[in-house]
Amino acid sequence: MNPQLIFLLQSLPPGRVFGLDQQTAVQMVIMLISISVFAVLMYVLLYKPVRAFLQKRAEGIKSDLDYAETQKAKANELKLEYEQIVKDIDAEKYEILETARKLSAEKTKESESAAKAEADSIKASAFKEIEAEHERVRDEVRATVFDVSNAMVAKFLPQSMDEETQKRLFDEAMNELGGTA
């Protein structure tokens, strides 16, 4: 056996291990009152403040969660708003690019039209110059042919010719050379 248990059993009054007498009942009542007072004091001093603290903390956490939820909703609204703004900017960018392309195409067409008109003008001017040069060369050739034909006629025909005969001979010579009178 355990030596401590033996010591406790020896310290008991002889013949008594556990007795339900008046002294034990009073001790039990005192102990129950002490425990009750202690429980009430613990309830008042510890349980109520701890419970109030935990309730406040739970309310604080709930309000923080509500605030976080509202902030999240606002953030989602801002996100959607910014996404819409980005879409609007993209659409506007596309419109601006389309407008720029159209303007560029119009400017190109205008430039092409102006260049074509200028080329046509230069071409017409060149044709006029060529025609004028052609007329001048024709007149020079006509004058030279007229002089040569007069010299030949004078050499071959000793008689003098009138002007109408000279013109007729000149026209015939020109027709033979391929020119027009």
pLDDT in tens, 74-96: 999 999 999 999 999 999 999 99
Answer yes or no: is pLDDT of 181 > 60.
Answer: no
Give the tokens for residue 155. Answer: 């050499």
**pLDDT for residue 65:** 94
**Confidence at 160, pLDDT banded by 50, 70, 90:** low
Share of the chain above pLDDT 70, in %: 85
Query: What does the mean pLDDT of the chain come to?
Result: 84
**Confidence at 102, pLDDT banded by 50, 70, 90:** very high
- pTM strictly above 0.95: no
Tell me which residue of 151, 149, 137, 154 sits closest to 174, measured CA to CA: 149
**pLDDT for residue 14:** 63
With b for 16 or more beta-carbon neighbours within 10 A and e for fewer, the 22-58 pattern comes to: eeeeeeeeeeeeeeeeeeeeeeeeeeeeeeeeeeeee
The burial of 170, by beta-carbon neighbours within 10 Å (0-12 exposed, 13-18 middle, 19 or more buried), is given as middle
How far is residue 135's CA from residue 138's CA, in Å, rounded to a whole number? 5
**Confidence at 8, pLDDT banded by 50, 70, 90:** low
State the DSSP code for 13: P
Answer yes or no: is pLDDT of 17 > 90.
Answer: no
